[in-house]
Structure 1
Amino acid sequence: MGQGAASREIDEVRAGVLYICGTPIGNLGDASRRLIETLRAVDVIAAEDTRVARKLLSALGVEGKALVSFHEHNKWKRIPEILSMLKRGKSVALVTDAGMPAISDPGWELVKATLDEGLKVTVVPGPSASVSALVVSGIRPCPFTFVGFLPRDRKERREALARIARRSETLVIYEAPHRVEDCLEDILDILGERRMALVRELTKKFEEVRRGKVSEILSSVRKDPPKGEITLVVEGVATEEETTPSNLEGILPRLREAYEELTREGIPPNKVLSLLARLTGVRKRQLYKLLKVGKD
């Protein structure tokens, strides 16, 4: 997607425009010159937490800005007010506590409402924990599905995982440190054993990436509970083209045993293959080939 060096200087902030601004996720050095100049120039800054925003603005040398709160609990009240500002020619910057607004943070409803009114929306790109975790994980980054935060309720979380269990794309999940162990237990149970990475405190002093199988990461979390912002990058189900005897070698003997035992009990081979396919995420036709190869 890159097109080489930037071809023009930073644009001037325009009246009546909503600026979606990405802010650092832990390292102030990631604040771009364009972000700083945009925050200095806009008339109003809408912030997820005005206290956090004031600290950021002070650290960036941006002073005297009008701040309004915009968060999950007041967004429906604030959207008409911000639209009114834009219609009066005010320029507004939207920021969250860290990263890109509208990605697991308030914002997309405001973007949609602004566009629905025929007003201009533009972006000042910045760091994103999801993409940063993805590229450092060592797991195939494309294609990927951004899941965001799973439901807090365990039943709902397991249902959400079941809906994505057969996806072949890499999964990117946000989780709180006090729920990560339960989340990993459900991932292991519903998605099964696969490669993953637990990424925490990206760009900060205690940045850490734990890589391994789900069971290995779960064991490490039990021994050494992680703190801070956590992103889980989980390998998707292998496609038929990617599924080979070599990367199923560890479970193939157990699959053969299960197949033989169930068929001996009188269950039709076709139904056994369907069951094993659901449990492993391997296509039925490919599973048949693998089991047949194992018998030769």
Structure 2
Amino acid sequence: MLGKIGRSPKTIVLKLPQAIIQTCFFIRIETVPTGTLYIVATPIGNPKDITFRAVEILKSADHILCEERRVGSTLLKQLDIPQKLLIELNEHNEDSLAQELVMILAQGENMALISDCGTPAFADPGALLIQFAMEAGIQVVPVPGTSSLMTLLSVSPLKVDEFYFVGFLPRKEEQRHRKLTELRKLRVPIVLMDTPYRLERTLQDIQKTFGKNKIITIGMNLTLPKEKILHDSVSTILAMVRGQKAEFILIIH
């Protein structure tokens, strides 16, 4: 047997003989049919935003890779998809797990990669797995869908022909300040996001670096009943959302 799968109540752990990984990993598999790695976008809030194609892929995949098993299991229940093997792939284990997953793909198993919400591997885990899969000759297929980035850009009241995507700001104060100071030199709109509990802090940092009159567009809890899309000076929006926590993405114009 090539490998074995051990299961615990919270996670899935894969183990393969190290000798097999070392000798076989970067050999392109061309003599036998290999599996396919599907990169599946899932809703950013409203479960009705899932595409028909995404549902078909999730139903047919042999394994589903997800950031958190609990979130992945909830999504399958919402879509009435029978529970199947969920393998956690996140920032804590991708470095050690990616090669083993490619070996399973090389045996002909199909996998669907999803993130907690939105498009995988974009400011989320998955890029290393995709790199290794392509290097091993595994077919990687994108299954597009909702994205918080494009959702917010589509309702921006100011024209955005080009922009600079930052993703998540550093957590440490000094690094955040240094990053924002560098971004202030740019002459294009800047798109960034952060965790819900850093909403107020992020706006404060932007105000401190760019000035209180800097215009921003922010989307909070996009596609959900409590969705808010605000366009105003950073100081005005900061006063409006003070004390709140929400999933958010914003544009600094």
Give the TM-score normalised by the residue count of structure 2: 0.83
Residue in 2 that maps onto 1:210: 230
Matched residue pairs, number?
Answer: 220
2 CA distance for matches of 1:116 and 1:104?
Answer: 21
* CA apart distance, 1:185: 2.1
Aligned counterpart for 1:156 among listed residues 175, 181, 188: 175
* CA apart distance, 1:167: 1.3
2 CA distance for matches of 1:130 and 1:170?
Answer: 13
2 CA distance for matches of 1:20 and 1:46?
Answer: 10
Gaps of 5+ in 1: 1-13, 236-296
1 CA distance for matches of 2:181 and 2:110?
Answer: 43
* CA apart distance, 1:170: 1.3
* CA apart distance, 1:132: 0.8
Residue in 2 that maps onto 1:147: 166
Pairing 1:44–2:67 present: no
- Is the 1:200–1:227 contact (alpha carbons within 8 Å) kept by the matching residues of 2? no
- Is the 1:20–1:121 contact (alpha carbons within 8 Å) kept by the matching residues of 2? yes
Residue in 2 that maps onto 1:230: 248
Residue in 1 that maps onto 2:185: 166
* CA apart distance, 1:180: 2.2
**Larger Rg belongs to:** 1
* CA apart distance, 1:44: 0.8
Aligned counterpart for 1:201 among listed residues 221, 231, 237: 221
Q: Structure 2: which amino acid aligns with 1:70?
A: L
CA RMSD of aligned residues (A): 1.5
Moved over 6 A (4+): none
Q: Structure 2: which amino acid aligns with 1:106?
A: P
* CA apart distance, 1:43: 0.9
Q: Structure 2: which amino acid aligns with 1:50?
A: R
- Is the 1:134–1:172 contact (alpha carbons within 8 Å) kept by the matching residues of 2? no
Spell out the pairing of 1:84-99 with structure 2 (5 A cutoff): 84-99=103-118
Higher strand proportion (structure 1 or 2): 2
1 CA distance for matches of 2:206 and 2:194?
Answer: 12
* CA apart distance, 1:226: 2.9
Query: Which structure has the higher relative contact order (CA within 8 Å, separation 6+)?
Result: 2
Gaps of 5+ in 2: 1-32
Q: Structure 1: which amino acid aligns with 2:89?
A: F
Helix, strand or coil: the match of 2:237? helix
Q: Structure 2: which amino acid aligns with 1:168?
A: R
- Which digits, 9 at most, give the CA deviation of each residue in 1:7-40, with x for residues without a partner? xxxxxxx951110000011111111110000011
Pairing 1:180–2:178 present: no
Residue in 2 that maps onto 1:79: 98
* CA apart distance, 1:228: 2.1
